[in-house]
């Protein structure tokens, strides 16, 4: 392994803590600086991490920084990503890639023109949970895939998050916030989507922040809070998807894949690991599958480390901008289909990323 990729982080909100926790186990990355619009907060985090605190402009202009980890709010993703590429830096951003496909098109064109990489969360799909399910599916154990179901629901993030307003603004909502975990998993398992239909809506109940300094404040809702969709994959397989901020409880499966000979039940795709279970015609009871693929003991940032290793070796990285763009177009199409009661054809496509071999460590990527 060569020299580590020197990383500057822009945005040091809550999610940054998970990334910082992973950096010590990723020798392909070296955290060197952080920045935030709240410069005082950036200074505190920089001291905790033992790195430099810079303004956003200073970080983007610093020639010693190879790549930007963009952890800003969704509305700022494209602006920061574009500025990073223009400054000659690779970029890896939190999801979603953009608020709309049109915004992301120019970003990927700039990436192609400059030869710089764009990566995007979620990288949870690279852990042993989804990757083991991928190995089971590809082995033919459940026969020919015929369908899948993805279901995530909660009453809303205001019940636990101290600053949840952005979840109810464009780029938020259950589809854009939680959908990428499930949709990226479905595309990684079953391949690209060619068309979608859907229904979207929202309740009239008032939403109030329940924790933190803004407790009691009412939230304005500018997004759909209950989304249903049917996805048709290029292979002919259909997936049903429900994402909701409206349900107080459910017993629905989180993520399942159905085949002609059986079913795979996956762990929460918002995590990197967990039990994969299989039920087949020849073994009609649920059994836990031994872990067989994926980055072991992974956490946030493994997708960025995978990208760093791919830059070094000249191969495609798995949590790519192209995959994130396809997932973004799926979400955009679901909303358009739901609001127009129509079916929407997708214009983008992407190949399934290579499976992650079991037991991969940073030293062997």
> CATH number for the domain including 279?
3.30.360.10
Domain identity same for 25 and 159: no
Look-up of token digits 């259909």: 238
* CA-wise closest residue to 59 among 45, 47, 42: 42
Q: Are 342 and 197 in contact (CB under 8 A)?
A: yes
**Mean predicted lDDT score pLDDT of the chain:** 96
Domain identity same for 336 and 357: yes
Say whether 81 sits in a helix, a strand or coil.
helix
Domain CATH for 108? 3.40.50.720
Cβ-based neighbours of 342, under 8 Å, separated by 6 or more: 197, 336
Q: Are 321 and 70 in contact (CB under 8 A)?
A: no
pLDDT at 1: 60
Domain identity same for 160 and 81: no
Give the count of domains, the chain. 2
Domain identity same for 212 and 274: yes
Domain identity same for 238 and 354: yes
Domain identity same for 365 and 216: yes
Domain identity same for 189 and 50: no
Q: Report how far residue 175's alpha carbon sits from residue 184's, in angstroms, rounded to the nearest whole number.
A: 12
Domain identity same for 224 and 344: yes
Q: Report how far residue 1's alpha carbon sits from residue 5's, in angstroms, rounded to the nearest whole number.
A: 11
pLDDT at 253: 81
Which of the listed residues 69, 103, 120 is the one where a domain comes to its end? 120
Question: Consecutive 10-residue runs of the chain (365 residues): their mean pLDDT?
Answer: 90 95 93 97 98 98 98 95 98 96 97 98 97 98 98 96 92 94 98 97 96 96 97 98 96 93 97 98 97 96 96 96 98 96 96 91 56
pLDDT at 252: 85
Which of the listed residues 97, 120, 143 is the one where a domain comes to its end? 120
Domain identity same for 109 and 216: no
Q: Are 324 and 332 in contact (CB under 8 A)?
A: no
Which of the listed residues 76, 98, 120 is the one where a domain comes to its end? 120
Domain identity same for 332 and 304: yes
**Domain membership of residue 209 as a residue range:** 122-365
Domain identity same for 201 and 332: yes
Domain identity same for 178 and 160: yes
Q: Is the pTM of this model over 0.85?
A: yes
């Amino acid at each position: 392994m060569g020299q580590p990729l020197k990383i500057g982080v822009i945005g040091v909100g809550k999610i940054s803590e998970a990334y910082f926790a992973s950096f010590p186990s990723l020798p392909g990355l070296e955290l060197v600086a952080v920045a935030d619009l709240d410069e005082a907060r950036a200074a505190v985090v920089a001291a905790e991490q033992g790195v430099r605190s810079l303004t956003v402009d200073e970080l983007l202009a610093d020639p010693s920084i190879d790549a930007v980890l963009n952890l800003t709010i969704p509305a700022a993703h494209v602006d920061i990503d574009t500025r990073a590429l223009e400054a000659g830096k690779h970029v890896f951003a939190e999801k979603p890639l953009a608020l709309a496909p049109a915004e992301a098109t120019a970003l990927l064109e700039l990436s192609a023109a400059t030869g710089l990489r764009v990566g995007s969360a979620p990288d949870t799909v690279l852990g042993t949970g989804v990757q083991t399910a991928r190995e089971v599916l590809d082995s033919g154990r459940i026969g020919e895939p015929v369908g899948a179901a993805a279901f995530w629901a909660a009453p809303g993030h205001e019940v636990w998050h101290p600053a949840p307003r952005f979840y109810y603004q464009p780029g938020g909502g259950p589809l854009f916030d939680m959908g990428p975990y499930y949709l990226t998993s479905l595309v990684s398992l079953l391949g690209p989507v060619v068309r979608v239909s859907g229904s979207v809506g929202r309740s009239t109940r008032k939403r109030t922040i329940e924790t933190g300094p803004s407790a009691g404040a009412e939230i304005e809702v500018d997004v759909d809070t209950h989304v249903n969709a049917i996805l048709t994959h290029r292979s002919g397989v259909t997936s049903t998807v429900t994402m909701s901020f409206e349900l107080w409880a459910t017993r629905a499966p989180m993520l399942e894949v159905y085949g002609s000979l059986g079913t795979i039940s996956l762990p929460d795709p918002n995590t990197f690991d967990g039990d994969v279970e299989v039920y087949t015609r020849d073994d009609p009871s649920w059994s836990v599958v031994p872990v067989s693929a994926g980055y072991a003991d992974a956490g946030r940032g493994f997708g960025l480390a995978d990208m760093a290793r791919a830059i070094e070796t000249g191969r495609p990285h798995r949590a790519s901008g192209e995959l994130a763009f396809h997932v973004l177009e799926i979400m955009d199409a679901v909303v358009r289909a739901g609001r127009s009661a129509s079916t929407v054809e997708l214009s983008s496509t992407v190949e399934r990323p290579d499976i992650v071999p079991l037991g991969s460590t940073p030293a062997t990527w």
